[in-house]
Amino acid sequence: MKKSKKKLLVTGGAGFIGSNTALYFSKHGWNIHIIDNLSRKGSKDNLLNLKKNIDVNFYKIDTSNFSKISKVIKKIKPKLLIHCAGQVTVTKSVTNPRNDFNSNAIGTFNILEAIRLFSNKTKFINISTNKVYGNVSNKKVFQGKNRYGFAGKMKSINENYPLDLYSPYGCSKGIADQYTRDYSRIYDLDTVVVRLSCIYGTMQYGIEDHGWIVWLTIKSYFGKKIKIFGDGKQVRDALYIDDLVKLFLKLSKSKKNKNKIYNIGGGIKNSMSLLELIEILDKKMNKKNKFKKFNWRPGDQKIYISDISKIKKEHHWSPKINVHQGLDKVINWIHKNELNIKKLLKP
Ligand SMILES: NC(=O)c1ccc[n+]([C@@H]2O[C@H](COP(=O)([O-])OP(=O)(O)OC[C@H]3O[C@@H](n4cnc5c(N)ncnc54)[C@H](O)[C@@H]3O)[C@@H](O)[C@H]2O)c1
């Protein structure tokens, strides 16, 4: 008898992380279902690309609609649900906190409830964010020529760092993060939280306030002036998308991560500041990129670097693609998709 394929449901499956996840799992023999409200610029392009390349079942649903979400989850009863849908920018959360709350807090709660009531064997991976640690203001920071650094012994942030939900986005993601954990404690669901730092890669239709690595690369590629908010010395650790989707597959196979929380990023080796990225792009594009500085944005951390030792230790996972290799892949993708990507630059 033919073995039936394992079912994966990806919310936000037409977004950057979601569509890469769908492609990767499909190549590994999974049956793919995706939910997306297509609110993100570029999502329709990603969906078309998915439909061209893999078998995919698409549901145009907003996660804030419990009745529709629960119907789909009840029908599919996925083995794995990776929750990537959500409002993704701090700036938009400040101008429209209700939309942010509905999308991130209510959206995640609806999915957890649907799993609890109709599909309690589903493994649930919730995509959280380093923003749950706020401005990491307990740590002293020093200022170098082109970047900030953590003073003292600890050079990165681990999962025991105190939560400090900062900005409506930080709050709505923090609620989702904690509910995910608690639904495992209270209802014994198989949930895991990954707190991501900066993920970048192909199929990321970067915008000014989300996906800065790809956004700056796109600006540089098309010779446009780059806007920097703050002094440009802000540091993040960068993780290439292929390394992340490989981790998702690893987590899907393991029973060791129930009720766990992991910080995920490129770690210290793959950290860089905005000014350092611009320098790298100058070299890769063989031009001097122009940029202009603007005021800091609310909730922007001067420095955040993930301590990835817990995930390394427990799951033997570590990033394999360094920033130079990752940027080359992104530049190649921009080159092949110039027309589509150029649309993003239009206001
Ligand atoms: N990319 C990163 O660097 C990063 C870092 C930390 C956390 N995250 C988190 O990862 C997740 C995915 O981010 P991404 O970079 O792929 O963003 P993205 O904007 O490319 O993808 C999100 C997708 O969700 C859809 N969506 C938004 N609100 C929805 C709703 N209410 N109902 C249904 N669909 C909805 C959008 O149309 C989009 O296709 C988000 O939760 C984000 O907060 C991303």
Range of the domain at 84: 7-345
Domain count of the chain? 1
Q: Is residue 60 part of a domain?
A: yes
pTM above 0.95, yes or no: yes
Q: What share of the chain is helix, strand, coil (3-state, %, to 5)?
A: 45, 20, 35
Question: Per-residue pLDDT tens for 9-28?
Answer: 999 999 999 999 999 999 99
Domain-located, residue 233: yes
Q: Quote the CA–CA distance of 256 and 95 in Å, as a whole number.
A: 40
Sheet of 190-196: strand order equals 56-60, 31-36, 7-11, 80-83, 123-129, 190-196, 260-264
259 alpha carbon – ligand 1 mean position (Å):
22
Is the CB of 109 within 6 Å of ligand 1?
Answer: no
Taking the CA atoms of residue 174, residue 32, residue 42 and residue 132 in that order, the dihedral angle to the nearest 10 degrees is 10
Q: Give the pLDDT band of residue 344 (cuts 50, 70, 90).
A: confident
pLDDT tens digits, one per residue of 214-248: 999 999 999 999 999 999 999 999 999 999 999 99
pLDDT, averaged across the chain? 95
Q: pLDDT at position 3, please?
A: 66
Question: Which among 166, 169, 183, 221 is annotated as catalytic?
Answer: 169
For every residue of 56-87, DSSP letters joined together read EEEEE--TT-HHHHHHHHHHH--SEEEE--S-
Tokens of 272: 């860089």
The answer to whether 236 and 267 have CB atoms below 8 angstroms apart is: no
Whether residue 1 has pLDDT greater than 60: no
- Cβ–ligand 1 distance for 78 under 6 Å, the answer no
pLDDT band at 209 (very low <50, low <70, confident <90, very high): confident
Average pLDDT over residues 261-273: 98
On the question of pLDDT at 85 being above 90, the answer is yes
For the Cβ of 85 lying below 6 angstroms from any atom of ligand 1, the answer is yes
What confidence score (pLDDT) does residue 255 get? 87
212 lies in some domain: yes
For residue range 131-169, what is the model confidence (pLDDT) as tens digits? 999 988 888 999 999 999 999 888 999 999 999 999 999
For residue 184 the two structure tokens come to: 């495992």
Whether ligand 1 lies within 6 angstroms of the CB of 20 is answered as: no
Is residue 243 in a domain? yes
Confidence of residue 299 (pLDDT cuts 50, 70, 90): confident
Q: How far is the CA of 1 from the centre of ligand 1 (A)?
A: 38
Instruction: Tell me, in angstroms, the distance from the centre of ligand 1 to residue 143's CA.
Output: 32
Does 14 map to a domain? yes
Report if residue 1 sits inside a domain. Answer: no
Residue 169 a catalytic site member = yes
Q: What is the mean pLDDT of residues 166-182?
A: 97
Q: 309-324, pLDDT tens digit by residue?
A: 999 999 999 999 999 9
Local structure of 181: helix, strand or coil: helix
Tokens of 235: 């540091």
Indicate if ligand 1 lies below 6 Å from the C-beta of 38. yes
CATH number for position 315:
3.40.50.720
Mean pLDDT value of segment 51-68 = 98
What's residue 98's pLDDT? 98
Q: What is the pLDDT of residue 144?
A: 95
Report yes or no on 2 lying in a domain: no
208 confidence band (pLDDT: 50, 70, 90)? confident
Whether the pLDDT of residue 341 is over 70: the answer is yes
* H helix or E strand, kind and range, residue 53: helix 43-53
Q: Is residue 102 part of a domain?
A: yes
Query: Ligand 1 mean position to 112 CA, how many Å?
Result: 17
